[in-house]
Amino acid sequence: MRFELKGIAISHGVSLGKVALLDRTKAIVERTKVDPSTVQSEKERFLGAVQKSKEHLHSIIDRFDPMEKGEHLQILNFNIMMLEDDLFCEEVIRTIESEKVNAEWAITYVLSLKTEEFRFVEDIYMKERLADIYHLGETILRNLRGLKDDIADLEDDSVLVAHDISPVDVVSFSKHRAIGLATDVGAATSHSAIIARSLGIPTVMGLEDISLKVSPGDSIFVDGYNGVVIVNFTEKEVTEFIERRKNYDSLGKKLKRYAKLPGKTQDEVAIKVNANIEIADEIDLALSYGAEGIGMYRTEFLFTRSEYFPTEREQFEDYKNVISVFKSPNITIRTLDIGGDKFPPGMEPPKELNPALGLRGIRFSLMDANIFRTQIRAILKASCFGKMRILIPMVSSLFEVIDTKKIIQEVSGEIDCSPSWEIGVMIETPSAAILTSEIAEEVDFLSIGTNDLIQYTLAVDRVNEHVSYLFSHFHPAVLRLLKNITEVATRKGVPVSVCGEMAGQLSCVPLLVGMGVDELSMNTHSIPMVKKLLNSITKAESEEILGNALKLKTTADTKKYVINAIIDKWGKALPLECVQEILTDQAT
């Protein structure tokens, strides 16, 4: 049966192939007492498995070009180094000898001691080493049990699906010419993710339970750009996917040229083109796609990726990394927007009837002062390395803005260095839109979250496919509301950004330019084309299109008019790929 899952886009590109299910489920390791006379043979079994694991790792390295360098080889060498580390082997051997136990249990026991040691380590790098040690332990256990390496048998068009995957498996996997990766858990800063990117394997993680839903041999499409995986698609879709793969390949080259363009219209009106990111690792990509700043860092993914909330130090390192690498005055960190459908494992509150209307975003943060203050402290500490724009999600009342400002002010007094920040509010609820004037008086900038603003304005659940036909950026009520927000903000002299999906939709860009928005923030891959479009249009003509569009009464008429007007005015000046993209909006 066909189904589609949305996860986190880890490594871009698309792949079309067959599911190879990697079963790394941990078998239960039992503690078995061994006879003193067999202690020696247990030790030998263990050392034999270590040796086999080393040979396995060397054989993977040998498949690479000797001149090749990169993170993936460093990880392999790190694993070999650990196998050669006498301390680990000695500890396991000592356990076999003193406890008179089987080798499997001794390994598991030593690893559990290591986990305990690492539990309170704050350093993210060291924490990730723990994952490496674990994966290594699994490799030794596999060799100890004489299990075959299932990755070695992959077909050429295999897309690997797994609950989790070790860095070594990713490297090994790529060398077997497998073409895509999809996993249940989404540790975006894990080495597995870093390596998938370094090796250019289209990857989606955080798919929750894909490994339970697929069977080996199922046809699978991995869209590493949008974080989407489609399984058992139709014949018709195959043609479409092959076409998309071809297009992606050639488009990539062209887009790089547009990425360098400045964010401004042909009549010299500056409009910043920023990136939305979900994980700090996306920064390099955002830079290479021409992002002029980070318009919204959705920090909730930092909180939902593991079983514990990130410490202040972990958050500080992460935010500081963003500001240090990006070096822009436009780095916008959105505070936690958990709630609704986003909760870290184990933190789920009792089910709410209407989660989208429930304890979400700033409501959750103001309810849990500890978590919120920790995040604010981490952001402010990072802001000592460069100005941070703090963005507050899901505001629906003025008191939420005032209370948040008070908390930021208080926390800033606890910081040793000199923090430098601006505060902004997401306009994404109808009440915030109506209160734009009052909110604008309290803040340095506004950012319109069209995804939620449309959901709440049109009463259309944004994740419910049954009503998605009603969700439209061209709905007259939406356009009029957006016009009001931008008009009021401009009158108040407060800059406005749009950071919902609308900002990256080419056919909507002239409408937003006509409204006078100062910034557009979007998924990284939309940036080059939006820049190209901006450079081809004028603000004056965009205002004219907007004026006419606002007179229309239905979504269908508005969309048709806007798309035709864009093509009439600028179709000849725009490259074919932009025109095609604008025309495809007609069908949505």
Active-site residues: which are they?
A: 191, 499
Closest approach of Cβ 215 to Mg ion, in Å? 36
Q: Does 510 bind ligand PEP (CB under 6 A)?
A: no
Q: Nearer to ligand PEP by C-beta: 262 or 344?
A: 344
Closest approach of Cβ 361 to ligand PEP, in Å? 8
Q: Nearer to ligand PEP by C-beta: 223 or 428?
A: 428
Helices marked H in 310-449: 312-326, 362-367, 369-382, 398-412, 430-434, 436-440
In the DSSP assignment, the letter for residue 554 is S
Chain-centroid distance, C-alpha 64:
29
Using alpha carbons, list the distances in angstroms from residue 305 to 207, 278, 301: 12, 11, 6
Strand bridging mode 8-11 / 203-205 = antiparallel
Residue with tokens 């490259």: 575
**Residue 400 contact among Mg ion, ligand PEP, none, beta carbon within 5 to 8 Å by kind:** none
Residues 61-80 that bind Mg ion (CB under 5 A): none
Q: Nearer to Mg ion by C-beta: 321 or 451?
A: 451
Interface with ligand PEP (CB under 6 A), residue from 9, 499, 512, 522: 499
Nearest to 119 by CA among 301, 311, 370: 311
Rounded (5°) CA angle 391-392-397: 145
Q: Does 501 bind Mg ion (CB under 5 A)?
A: no
Using alpha carbons, list the distances in angstroms from residue 65 to 78, 93, 160: 18, 36, 23
Helices marked H in 36-158: 39-62, 71-84, 86-99, 103-119, 124-144
Stretch (H or E) spanning 421 = strand 421-427
**Residue 518 contact among Mg ion, ligand PEP, none, beta carbon within 5 to 8 Å by kind:** none
| Per rule CB under 6 A, count of chain residues that contact ligand PEP | 9
Residue 409 in contact with residue 461, Cβ under 8 Å?
Answer: no
Closest approach of Cβ 451 to Mg ion, in Å? 5
Q: Does 500 bind ligand PEP (CB under 6 A)?
A: yes
Q: Does 452 bind Mg ion (CB under 5 A)?
A: yes
Interface with ligand PEP (CB under 6 A), residue from 138, 218, 337, 519: 337
**568's tokens:** 């009439």
Q: Nearer to Mg ion by C-beta: 318 or 452?
A: 452
> Which residues partner with 20 through β-bridges?
160
Q: Does 449 bind Mg ion (CB under 5 A)?
A: yes
Phi and psi at 200, nearest 5°, equal 70, 35
Closest approach of Cβ 285 to Mg ion, in Å? 22
Residue 296 in contact with residue 361, Cβ under 8 Å?
Answer: no
* Rounded distance between C-alpha atoms, residue 215 and residue 577, angstroms: 37
* Rounded distance between C-alpha atoms, residue 164 and residue 161, angstroms: 9
Convert residues 435-454 into a mask of x (bound to ligand PEP by CB under 6 A) and - (unbound): --------------xxxx--
Residues 286-315 that bind ligand PEP (CB under 6 A): 298
Q: Which residue number is nearest to Mg ion in terms of Cβ?
A: 452
**Residue 424 contact among Mg ion, ligand PEP, none, beta carbon within 5 to 8 Å by kind:** none
Q: Which stretch binds Mg ion (CB under 5 A): 227-235, 284-292, 433-441, 451-459?
A: 451-459
Closest approach of Cβ 318 to ligand PEP, in Å? 18
- Radius of gyration of the chain, Cα coordinates, nearest whole angstrom: 26
In the DSSP assignment, the letter for residue 399 is H
**Residue 13 contact among Mg ion, ligand PEP, none, beta carbon within 5 to 8 Å by kind:** none
Interface with ligand PEP (CB under 6 A), residue from 132, 292, 317, 428: 428
Closest approach of Cβ 520 to Mg ion, in Å? 16
Q: Nearer to ligand PEP by C-beta: 135 or 298?
A: 298
Q: Does 428 bind Mg ion (CB under 5 A)?
A: yes
* Rounded distance between C-alpha atoms, residue 136 and residue 85, angstroms: 13
Q: Nearer to Mg ion by C-beta: 383 or 447?
A: 447
**Residue 500 contact among ligand PEP, Mg ion, none, beta carbon within 5 to 8 Å by kind:** ligand PEP
Q: Nearer to ligand PEP by C-beta: 298 or 531?
A: 298
Nearest to 227 by CA among 282, 267, 152, 151: 282
Residue with tokens 């199922």: 218
Q: Does 278 bind Mg ion (CB under 5 A)?
A: no
Q: Does 184 bind ligand PEP (CB under 6 A)?
A: no
Q: Nearer to ligand PEP by C-beta: 298 or 559?
A: 298
Interface residues with Mg ion (CB under 5 A)?
Answer: 428, 449, 452
Interface residues with ligand PEP (CB under 6 A)?
Answer: 298, 337, 428, 449-452, 499-500
